[in-house]
Amino acid sequence: MKVTGLLHVALLSSDLEASKQFYEGVLRLKQKPRPSLAFPGVWYELGDVELHLIVTAEQLLSANERPNRDFHLALAVEDYESIKKQLEDTGVPFKERSAGVAQIFVRDPDGNLIELQSV
């Protein structure tokens, strides 16, 4: 067997509308068609990879209950200052870090950690 690439990343969502407001409104991701499945969700295009949000009725840990170093999704951003301003304008809390490259860490409405990295 030979693994040839990453197809998608799936994150859980307890409130699809709040998640859509974050991913579409704040991060400006574009939805892509999703087949009719037995559970609600939404798919987003991320270049050659997709982000799948899957709705769950289970209780998820809040951002305050999650560890500081957490599973996360890292996204490349073209205009670091623009995304930083977008987060500030929408009141979404974030942390910046520079480990040789500019990085922003933000949590979505369900506490999933998202890294936004300058390319």
| pLDDT tens-digit readout, 26-66 | 999 999 999 999 999 999 999 999 999 999 888 777 777 77
Distance CA 7, CA 43 (A): 12
The answer to whether residues 40 and 82 touch, using CB atoms and an 8 Å cutoff, is no
pTM above 0.95, yes or no: no
First to last CA, the chain: 32
The domains of the chain are located at 8-118
Distance CA 101, CA 58 (A): 36
Tens of pLDDT, residues 100-115: 889 999 999 998 999 9
Distance CA 82, CA 6 (A): 27
The CATH number for 8-118, chosen from 3.40.640.10, 3.40.50.720, 3.10.180.10, 3.40.1260.10, is 3.10.180.10
